[in-house]
Every structure is written in C-alpha cells, then in structure tokens.
Amino acid sequence: MEVENNTALPFLDVLVERKPDGTLGHRVYMKSTHTDIYLNAESHHHPAQKQGIIYTLIHQARISEPRHLAKELEHLHTALRGNGYISNEPSGGNIRPWRNENKIRHLLKKMNTVFSPVKKVTAAFPKTCNNDQLQGPGVYSVPCSCGKVYI
C-alpha cells in the first residue's frame, strides 16, 4: 500500500502531486531502485526492439507536465547515452536532440545489427539422442555418448 508523502503519491509509473491550488499534477515516477539499464545499443537484437525501447521511454516522458518535461527529457538523454544509443557530444555545443524525434529515427537507421531468429527452438540445440528410443509418454533414462545420462 502506498501512502501520500509530501503531497505526492506514486501510481504505476506516474507520480501524482497535489498542487497548492488543489489541482493534481503528474510526472514520471521511478522507484529508488531503478537503474536506467536497458537493452544496450550494441547488442545483437532486432532493431525493432531497440526502437521500441526509445519510443516507449519518449512516450513515457511525455506524460510529465510541461514544468517537469525538460528535466525528464534530460534524464532520458542521460539514460540513452549510458546504454549506447547516443554518443558523447562535443563540448561547447548546446545540442538538444529532443526537439524532435527525427534525429533519433536517423540514429536508429544507422545501426548495423545482425539478427536472425531460429525457426524452431529445436534448431537451436544439437540433437542429443535418437527419438526412436522413446516409445511413449513417461520418464526415460537416455545415455549420451559423452558418458552422461539425460532424464
């Protein structure tokens, strides 16, 4: 059970705040144990999975009220940089890639990713025994050429 603390109450991924005028405000909420570790940009996953992470985080940031949005986008920028999606920017520039998502889309199109899913789970594992040995349902002890026994 969550209890209101300092006029704020977390609900799912949203921190609902009671404003002095009695209205409710909201922004992104993350538990103190949140690590900002996401699928690394260099991992060999399907590009759609990487794009999904970025789009989800951007969409989540947009739930914040305008007064919290800049801080949330800066946090998102740091998290994406930490996971390899954004390279370090040259010093002296005031680059804000969050003005639009086209820069992110352009970045994602440049990624070289190798992804080839297996058609069936059995194709990912070597054959360990002759299935002809299995006569029907039950528990089997199948000896292997390596000397071990599979149950």
Residue 84, pLDDT above cutoff 70: yes
Give the domain ranges of the chain. 8-110, 121-150
Q: If you average pLDDT over residues 124-139, what whole number do you get?
A: 62
Residues sharing a CB contact under 8 Å with residue 77, sequence separation 6 or more, in sequence order: 86, 97, 98
Which pTM value belongs to this model?
0.54
Measured CA distances, 30 to 34, 75, 98 (Å): 6, 11, 21
Can you tell me the distance from the alpha carbon of 16 to that of 28, in angstroms, rounded to the nearest whole number? 9
Beta partners for 25?
A: 17
Q: Which residue has the higher pLDDT, 124 or 147?
A: 147
Amino acid occupying residue 1: M
